[in-house]
Amino acid sequence: MGKNDAAKFMRKAIRLSISNVEKVNGGPFGAVVVKNGKVIARGTNNVTATNDPTAHAEIVAIRKACKRLKTYQLTGCEIYTSCEPCPMCLAAIYWARPDKIYYANSKEDAAAIHFDDKLIYEEIAKPVSERKIFTQQLLRDEAQAAFKKWSESPDKIAY
């Protein structure tokens, strides 16, 4: 796929982000998932519209793409997003395993309008005991039973 195609798909993500602001549907973020040169899913930030803090544009688009393709991985796909993915979206994108990610605005651009993911990036790097939200490991030995069953299961679907 050529540079012009990439710009065309990015413009679709940007248009979604602008439209989302105009509709007062959520934050200024849009994303599209492309496979074989065709948009297969679109997403906008729906956090405030749905009271769902995970309803970021990339997550919405990934969910729609996986549903449409009937798969939990987006191998062979590209994700175009109007802004550099936040830590949650970046993790979801890695779990979805697309071939490429393209973004327009940077995380610094997002921080300039008060979408600052810097805190989360900093928190991830800290030891658990130093994080702002109290976090404690509990009942690991009991929880290991599920992991043991998973690792021994002949019926598991690895991902």
Residues with a known catalytic role: 58
d(CA 14, CA 3): 16
Q: What is the dihedral of CA 123, 126, 127, 132, to 10 degrees?
A: -40
Distance CA 44, CA 138 (A): 36
Distances from the Cα of 34 to the Cα of 126, 136, 141, 156, angstroms: 35, 40, 43, 29
> What is the distance between the terminal CA atoms of the chain, rounded to a whole angstrom?
28
H runs (alpha helix) in 23-139: 47-50, 57-69, 87-96, 107-112, 118-125
